[in-house]
Amino acid sequence: IPLLRRALAMSKRPLLLFASPWTAPAWMKSNGDVRGKGTLKGKAGDKYHKTWANYFIKFLDEYAKHNVTFWAVTAQNEPLAGLFTPPQAPTIAFTAAQQRDFIAQDLGPALARSPHRTRLLTLDDQRIHLPHWAKVVLGNATAARYVAGLAVHWYLDAIVPPGCSLEATHKLFPDHFLLYTEACTGFFMF
């Protein structure tokens, strides 16, 4: 919080912060551990999903107490990586359908009821998952009304041309923005 305050004070224009969760508490996960392959227990609409959605609101509440607000949150950082991640990495696995249902039944309504004007982003994973992820999540009218845009990572960009992923997704869902949220150079040695 002190570093965020310093950055906000030094900026000549407002900073738009976003947050992205890595994992839920172990008691909420199917594998009983914050690390490794595991999903949220149960299914969308149940006590685990509602409680996880409320964690987002509590997170926003606590930062707001320190005058730090978030422009956006993502529903999960690298939700498909949770299926392939090394056993020590903290994560939650979501398929596009699971994330759609979580957004439509739990996270979207929780954010809408909250005092926060924080936007919600979906995907927050590799571009190779587009446009499929967008079709599943944004193709559902209930989920789509809660989602402002798609968060995208660029690590595997060389595999899928932008026309097949970004452009195709934008043509299907022009009212939802696409935003690169995670990237680095030198990820692949070749």
State how far the Cα of 44 lies from the Cα of 101, in Å rounded to an integer. 6
Distances (CA, A) of 38 to 26, 29, 51, 79: 9, 6, 17, 10
- In angstroms, the CA 128 to CA 175 distance is 21
The Cα diameter of the chain in Å comes to 47
Catalytically active residues are 78, 182
Please say whether the beta carbons of 27 and 36 come within 8 A: no
